[in-house]
Structures are given as structure tokens and as C-alpha cells.
Structure 1
Amino acid sequence: MELPAPRGPVSAAVIGVLSGRDPAILAGLVVAAGDPVRDDDLQLALFVCYELHYRGWDGVDDRWEWNPGLLAARGRIEAVFEAALRSTVGEIKTPDPRDVPKLLTEIVQDEGPPLSAYLSSRADLGQFREFVAQRSVYHLREADPHTFAIPRLAGRPKAALVEIQQDEYGNGDPERMHQELFRATMRWFGLDLTYGAFVGTASALTLAINNLMSLFGLHRRLRGALIGQLAAFEMTSSLPNRAYGNGLRRLGGTPDATLFYDEHVIADAVHEQIAAHDLCGSFAAAEPEAAAEILFGARCAMLLDAYWAEEMLGRFQV
């Protein structure tokens, strides 16, 4: 994946250093944003840093992944992003671990803006294509951020996460990997199938949703937030994916084009129970001091998804 064009001074500094500029510019990097979650510059800079832990950037030495100067700069950006999330979500009191599955169910009750209904019944081909392009930033590496949590869990929570991930990765069949199923959807739309092809045109909120998972996945202290985010994702996925599949069929989508969405209607109905009870419930029982972080992760997931859906609907309904 090629490095994208900068969107401001912070991303320009990060991208510049990875392109060969003097790393000293990172030491004086000032990270400030009125709304970090929607800040194009901050979110792109963070995404560029995080991608070094995934598949990397063309022409960028892999050793940058653990460069102390870059990690220090990334830490300053992360601190601004995380502080904004915690301020918006508000304080979460440590719950009784036995209540975590029920509390997760309450958190995901808010359906948010009706994006799935719009795509099902009203979106035209170009609007659905834009939806798919934006989602590709995550779906072409679907499940990868959550895999970081596997070695950080033990016992029943680890087994539950592995069970979910096994489905995500096609149960050993590369053609059934959800990443590959989404590529078939993109192919039907005539989109560029290259990994990361739409990072350069992704909105700040698209990047923020991806950065949220990376933030949680790359910090052991946030492992509870990561599985909470995953639980919220799985618990709110089945019905929207049914709507997406129906919307795509309305527009003439072939069975191959809709398979990604149809697969998630079934898979995520199962994953919902595993994530809420076997993963999050058992993790809270084993590590009750981290139970509040599970709820924090779920609330962050719902918050950013609602922001993103509202933004997409705003584009479509102009």
C-alpha cells in the first residue's frame, strides 16, 4: 500500500519521516484538535502509524514499526484521541461482572441513524458503491485487529475469541475468509481490489473506526475495551447485514456480490451470543477490575458507528 497524501501538519510530519525526512521533526510535533474523532489530519496520522503493525507501506522499512521516536509521536496522538473518547462516553462505574452481558445488550439497543434501512430501500448504485468503498478500509483486513487480543487472554475468553476468529478467517478455507468475500462484493462494483486502495479517500470517521480497533488491540491495558468493541460489533451486525444484502439484490447484485452480507446474517447471530457471554462475560468474571473497560469499548463502538452512519446519510440525502 502506498503512503497517502497528508491532510495537515501532523500527518505530513509522520508521512514525511516515513518517506525519508529527518525524524527530528517528530520531537517537536504538536498534536491538537478541536474534535479529534473527526479530525482528518489526526486520524490519518494515526492510521499511517498503525498500519506499520499490519501489512506496512510500500518502500517503508519494517523497522519503523518499533522506532522509539515514531512511537512517542504516536503516543501523543493516541492520548488526544483516547481522551476525547473517554470524555464523550463519560465515566463508567465498575459493574458486577455477572451483569456485563446484560449491560452490553442495553448499550447496543440504540439503533442509531437508519443507514441500513436507506441502503436497503433507497440508495442508488453510486451511493451503495461509496458505502462499500469506505467500508473496504476495514473489511479487507476484517478480524485482524481483534487477533491481537488472543495472546492477551486465557481460558474460556481465549477459546471464545478463537472460535469467532476461526469463522472470520473462513475456517481454514482462504476463499471463505470474510476479507475475501468482501473483495467479491467490491469486484461486482468494479472497485479497486487492492488492500488499502481507499485509505486516501476515506473520511476521518472511517479512519477513526479503524483506529479505534487498533488503539484497543495494540495496548494490552485496553484488551477489555477491544473485546467490548467486538461484542458491540457482533451484536449489532446481523440485521443490518440482512438489509445490505437485500439492498444490493434490489440493485441487481449477484449471489457472489451479496454473499458477504448473507454470510454475516447467520455468522453474527451466533457470534453475538459467544461475544456477549463466552468472551466478555467470562473475561469480566476472570478479571473483574477490567469489566468497565468492556463497556467502554462497546460504547465507543456504538458512538463512532452512529457518527459514521449520520455522516454517510448526510452525503446521500443532500
Structure 2
Amino acid sequence: MLLPEPRGPIGATLAAALRGSPDTAPSPLPSHTRAPASGGPETVLADEDLQLSLWTCYELSYRGFDDVDDRWESTPSFVAFRAALEAPFVRALRHHTGSVGECTVDADGVPAALTGLIEADDGPPLAAYLQRKATAEQFKEFVTHRSIYHLKEADPHSWAIPRIGGRAKAALIEIQADEYGGGRLERMHSELFRNTMRGLGLDDTYGAYVDQVPAVTLAVSNTMSLFGLHRRWTPSLLGHLAIFEMTSSLPNRRYGNGLRRLGYGADTTRFYDEHVEADAVHEQIAAHDLCGGYAHDHPESIPDILFGAACALTVDNAMANHLLETWKTGASGLRRTLTGTAA
């Protein structure tokens, strides 16, 4: 994967720096690029320049870029640059989730609090639309958006494994073992998703559609990367994963049924069908053993657990709303359509 095309002055400066040597990097990187585009926290999730720049920074901790020296990941000026982008992103997440992090429950109440967040959520009905109404082209767009995360499925949450212990660690290992197919390539969820992409005629290369997806889609990935990369955010990462698992089974059933409605076969739907069963089991493990267990060991972490859970709902709803609103007008939800033209 090569560096994506910048979407503004922050990204342009970042790309110019990353194409050079970290040995000659200015410290700090140019200061005028270390602030987000104008606007308050309500605009940050849709800020194309900031979200792509932050995604680019995080990707150096995943698979990196063929045209970037791997040493950049730990270069002080780069780390400072990334932190400057994270600050407004965290403020925006706080803004959108309101007072959820101030919730006062004890460890025994964490599973119920997570369930309460889900029940109170009034996010857009994307799964129902895909099941009943979406065209084949719209379904391809949805899968294209999801490829930003699903081609590295489970990787952000695996950063928590060495950072926790006890019942929570055992629960996380149980969930992640299933995500990685029990060590069998053909059963890895990321590999199953590649099969879905191929069945839809999409490019299953890692990162192939980064330039096509908008900021709100990158924000979904950036949220879990933020929580995963920093040990300070470990409780939020666990809350994020719990919501992922607790809200997955029914939507995935609908996605699979939507693909069957459009005439696609078992190889294409298997990714979604697998999640219907697996996530029904993971839901209980994530709420009670993972988050509940961690909260018992670290009661001071409960507000951060719930914050991470609320963030998962917030960014997923932002992406879903973007898709439904653009499809309602007959437009594409991508920055460029799958034929390569501007949307």
C-alpha cells in the first residue's frame, strides 16, 4: 500500500514528511498543520483532512506503506504530530457522547449499563435497508466502506491482550481466537470478508479503497485505533469491542439475507452468516467476562469502558447516516464511485 492522496494541508505536509527520511525530520513538524480544519467538535468526524491524516498516522502501526520508512512510527516529531491530531478527535468524541463517561454504576452494573446504551441508541436503520431495499451497487458500496476495518478485523482490539489479566484477558482471548479462525486461514474473519469482496467483484487488496471512502468511514477505524494504540485507553477499547459484539448478530443476519435477496450465494454471505452465530456467544462473554471482569479488577475504569462503548455507537451511526442520506438522493456514499469517477 502506498500513501493515500492528501485531502488538505495537514495531509499534504504529512505526506511530504513521510516520503523523506526520519533522520532529517524537523522537530516539530510544521506547526501550522498541527491544528484541525476550522470548526467545532461537531465537524471533526466529517473533517476529510484530519481523519485521513490521522488514519495515515495510525496505519504506520499496522502494515505501514511501501513508500514510507518504518522508523517514522517512533520518530518524536511524528508522534507529536499524531498527538496533535488526536486531541481534537477525542474532544469530538466527548462532544458526541455527552455525559456517558460520567455514569455512576458499580462493576456488577456494567453489563446492564452496556445494554442500556444499546437500547437507548436510535441510530439509522442501515441493516434493515440493506436487507430489504438496497441495490447491488449500494451493497457493494457498503462492503467497500466496511473493508477499511474488516480487512484487519480484530487487530485493533488485540492490542489489549498484553495490557490486561485475569478473567478479562481469558475472555478477550476467547473472542479473538474466534475472530482469527482458531488459527486456520480459511476461517479468519478477515479472510471470510475477502471472499465476500471477491463475490461482489471488488478488489480485496488491503487498503485498496482508502481514497474512495469519506471521513466518517475513516473515523470508525480511527476510533478503535486510538483506543488500541494507547494503553491509557484500554478500558475504552474493551467497551468498544463489547458494543461491537453485542450489536452484531441481528445486523449480520440482515446483511446475509440482503445478499441472498440479490442472488448471491453461500461463499459471498458466509462472512455475515458466521457472525450471526459467533457474535451471539461473544455478546455475553464481552459484556460479563470481558468488561464486567475488567471493571471488578479496575473499578475506576468504568467511565472509560462506557465511553468507549458510546463511541462505537456514535461513529457507526455517523457512517450509517451518511450512507442512507446520500442513497436517498440517488448519489453515491463514496468520494469516488466504484467505476472511478467523482461522486
TM-score interval for Structure 1 and Structure 2 normalised by the shorter chain: over 0.9
Instruction: Measure, in 1, the Cα distance between the counterparts of 2:128 and 2:294.
Output: 34
Instruction: Measure, in 2, the Cα distance between the counterparts of 1:111 and 1:233.
Output: 16
Structure 2: unaligned runs, 5 residues or longer: 330-343
Structure 1 residues 111 and 243: alpha-carbon distance in aligned structure 2, compared to 1, 3 A threshold: farther
1:140 matched to which residue of 2? 151
Instruction: Measure, in 2, the Cα distance between the counterparts of 1:217 and 1:298.
Output: 13
Matched, 1:96 2:106: yes
Instruction: Measure, in 2, the Cα distance between the counterparts of 1:30 and 1:56.
Output: 21
Instruction: Measure how far apart 1:16 and its partner are.
Output: 1.4
2:79 matched to which residue of 1? 71
Matched, 1:40 2:48: yes
2:164 matched to which residue of 1? 153
- The 5-angstrom pairing of residues 198-277 of structure 1 reads 198-277=209-288
Instruction: Measure how far apart 1:27 and its partner are.
Output: 3.7
Aligned identity (percent) is 58
Matched, 1:193 2:197: no
Instruction: Measure, in 1, the Cα distance between the counterparts of 2:34 and 2:180.
Output: 39
Aligned with 1:135: secondary structure? helix
Residues matched between the structures, number: 318
Choose 283-292 or 90-99, whichever is displaced more: 90-99
CA RMSD of aligned residues (A): 1.2
2:316 matched to which residue of 1? 305
1:108 matched to which residue of 2? 118
Instruction: Measure, in 2, the Cα distance between the counterparts of 1:108 and 1:317.
Output: 26
Structure 1: unaligned runs, 5 residues or longer: none
2:57 matched to which residue of 1? 49
Instruction: Measure, in 2, the Cα distance between the counterparts of 1:72 and 1:131.
Output: 34
**TM, length-normalised to structure 2:** 0.91
- C-alpha contact 1:27 1:69 (8 A) present in aligned 2: no
Choose 11-20 or 183-192, whichever is displaced more: 11-20
Instruction: Measure, in 2, the Cα distance between the counterparts of 1:108 and 1:232.
Output: 8
Q: Note the alpha carbon deviations across 1:118-172, whole angstroms, 9 max, x for none.
A: 1001001100000001100100000000000000100110110010000000001
Q: Which amino acid aligns with 1:141?
A: K
Q: Note the alpha carbon deviations across 1:184-234, whole angstroms, 9 max, x for none.
A: 000011111110101111110110000000000011111000010110111
